[in-house]
Structure 1
Amino acid sequence: MKVLVTGGAGFIGSHIVDHLIAGGAEVAIVDNISTGKSTQIHPDASFYSMDISSPHLLEVFQKEQPEVVIHQAAQIHVGTSVDDPVFDATTNILGTIRLLEASRQTGVRKIVYASSAAVYGNPEYLPIDEQHPVHPLSGYGVSKYTPEQYLSVYHHLYGLRYTILRYANVYGVRQDPRGEGGVISIFIDKILSNSPLTIFGDGEQTRDYIYVEDVAKANLAAIQNGDGEIFNIGTGVRTSLNQVVQLFNQITGRQNPVEYGPERSGDIKHSYFNNQKARALLFWEPAVTLEEGLKKTYEYYRDEYRKMDKEMLKT
């Protein structure tokens, strides 16, 4: 099977590529390396340094002839969508349309699309299921939701199959705390640099934290299952920031200092997913507990920081 992965040099995309190649698939990667890293490109994958909004994208599809497209590439920052909504929409909406057109013209069988919890906005009830009203609070949320509608239209008009995965808060190995990083990678960076952890508000705000390997496996499950469906990809467990700090204290064996700042306006207080639909129809379930995932991620970056320290000593 030939699979094209957009954003395949990025945090989540590179893990998906690893699993695909380990399972025997041929993989082509399209990534502009804006947030991805060249060191994360799998050596057995074909690689195209290209933005998904490029007019040359069709040429890649014509050359590679993928059966399946896993679409991870995106502008992922809420702040950027506020500061530069045209760039946000150009990448996430127009880039996806260009991807759909290339898929239609070259006979792609199916697209697996990475969406986001941001489409739901402020939860009206918890846990959030797939029937929850969609009310994005940022341009980013809008630009992740709009391609969902285009996927439905392309299925209706052209028979292009699709599955939509709405991610909770993904964390894990390869997430960049200085770039696309979520709170977990930022905390680890602070811990390893002996800096205090910063929490805005009282730390009781909750999220659904899911390990990147579980997200990668959900994408692989979606290749064969869940046609025409939307799935929440999360653990179904809500965890506060204070609980995250406590887990890091246990993992590191020390009390990591915390600085509490004023609550940020517009931040959602509580959010977590109901993942029963994914369990039932995608035949997927999360396997890594938060404690296990945090330990794996912390140990990976601890070793990476030690390597960097050794290299600095050599110079």
Structure 2
Amino acid sequence: MRSALVTGGAGFIGSHLVNALVEDGRRVTVLDDLSTGRWENLFGALNHGVRLTPGNVTDPHAVARALTAERPDTIYHLAAQIDVRHAVADPIHDAVVNLIGTLTLLQAAQRHGVRRFVLASTGGAIYGEADVLPTPESAEVRPASPYAASKAAAESYLDLYRTLFGLSTLSLRLSNVYGPRQNGAGEAGVVAMFCAAARAGHPVTVFGDGGQTRDFLYVDDVVRAFMAAGERPVTGCVNVATGRETTVLAVAQELGLRVRHAPERAGEVRRSCLDPSRAAAALGWAARVAFTDGLDRTLTSMAPATRRAPVASVAP
């Protein structure tokens, strides 16, 4: 039976990936310090033999314990500091978690004979204000925040370990992922925050005119991309996205939310949309879940009795 290590496996995307790996018959070890992840996300998986190793990816001893438990052939590295505001306020901590943590794992992967290393990277933040939309992987890397810079640096180390040591590595540049288990109070995830507001009957704050666009991708589609990435010998970086733009204001309208406008935030990317062509060609992957369907699933998971309210008028 093949085995895998999932860092950040108690988190939003990681726990969905763990479930998929278990359903595929894998032995799974999770490395998570539970600072943002929740063990409740793994409740079902733990009953099916998943091993939870508490610890941080920056701790070589915790990483070694996780790797010696089941001798995984694949590492899916999803543990990260993802709060952009925190990254701006404390870029050193952001770099320690996202860059040093990745390097710690890569070094351990090389020593323990890991076959495949897949990194959860970021798309829109790495490309910044791109010249071409949808943006292909060949576009210039323009980190728009310390968070994006740390992810870009982590990607470069994956390339280096592939070149120097022959470790098979791939960075998945994810667009804006949403779905059940995402934190509705966090900085990352406008869909989760808006769904939480819809559940509570609260208005939402939209910064600027709400015309900012994002490429929203449902979590089940992301998990399928990770599963494919673990199996195919694709290297470098691959966009995982829908290739379609949706405005922030459109999300609020779809949920029938009352909107309050606030001044535009400095440094925010105006338009973000990724070209998923390479994912289709190299991984045989394409997004399947329509945004309206994913939105319904997310809302239902947060409040089973909730139904969409009529579309609200939006204040100018």
Question: TM-score per shorter chain, which class?
Answer: over 0.9
Q: TM-score, normalized by length of structure 2?
A: 0.92
Q: Partner amino acid for 1:49?
A: P
Q: Is the 8 A contact 2:83 2:188 kept in 1?
A: no
Deviation of 1:181 after TM superposition, in Å, equals 4.2
How far apart are the structure 2 equivalents of 1:242 and 1:87? 33
Deviation of 1:104 after TM superposition, in Å, equals 0.5
Superposition map of 1:115-194 within 5 A: 115-117=121-123, 118-179=125-186, 181-194=188-201
Q: Partner amino acid for 2:171?
A: I
Unpaired stretches in structure 1, ≥5 consecutive residues: 250-255, 306-315
How far apart are the structure 2 equivalents of 1:148 and 1:181? 20
Deviation of 1:281 after TM superposition, in Å, equals 0.8
Unpaired stretches in structure 2, ≥5 consecutive residues: 307-316
- The residue aligned with 1:281 is 282
Deviations, residues 48-96 of structure 1 (Å, cap 9, x unaligned): 0100011211232123211000000001111111111111111111111
Runs of 4+ in 1 over 3 A off after TM superposition: none
Moved more, 226-235 or 74-83: 226-235
Moved more, 99-108 or 173-182: 173-182
How far apart are the structure 2 equivalents of 1:59 and 1:188? 38
Q: Is the 8 A contact 2:29 2:66 kept in 1?
A: no
Deviation of 1:111 after TM superposition, in Å, equals 0.4
How far apart are the structure 2 equivalents of 1:245 and 1:80? 25
- The alignment covers a number of residue pairs equal to 300
The structure-2 alpha-carbon separation of the partners of 1:53 and 1:198, relative to structure 1 and needing over 3 Å to count, comes to: same
Q: Partner amino acid for 1:5?
A: V
Deviation of 1:304 after TM superposition, in Å, equals 8.7
Q: Is 2:58 the counterpart of 1:53?
A: yes
How far apart are the structure 2 equivalents of 1:60 and 1:5? 10
Deviation of 1:100 after TM superposition, in Å, equals 0.6
Q: Is 2:231 the counterpart of 1:224?
A: yes
Deviation of 1:231 after TM superposition, in Å, equals 0.7
- The residue aligned with 1:8 is 9
Q: Is the 8 A contact 1:35 1:180 kept in 2?
A: no
How far apart are the structure 1 equivalents of 2:75 and 2:248? 35
- The residue aligned with 2:310 is none
Deviation of 1:229 after TM superposition, in Å, equals 2.9
Give SS of 1:20's match: helix
1:210 to 204, 209, 217: 217
Q: Partner amino acid for 1:48?
A: T
Superposition map of 1:29-40 within 5 A: 29-40=30-41
- The residue aligned with 2:312 is none
Q: Is the 8 A contact 1:127 1:236 kept in 2?
A: yes
Deviation of 1:11 after TM superposition, in Å, equals 0.2
How far apart are the structure 1 equivalents of 2:26 and 2:144? 38
Superposition map of 1:60-139 within 5 A: 60-117=66-123, 118-139=125-146
How far apart are the structure 2 equivalents of 1:293 and 1:242? 17
Deviations, residues 175-207 of structure 1 (Å, cap 9, x unaligned): 011235411011111111111121111111111
Q: Is 2:258 the counterpart of 1:257?
A: yes
The structure-2 alpha-carbon separation of the partners of 1:166 and 1:304, relative to structure 1 and needing over 3 Å to count, comes to: farther
How far apart are the structure 1 equivalents of 2:277 and 2:205? 33
Deviation of 1:227 after TM superposition, in Å, equals 2.1
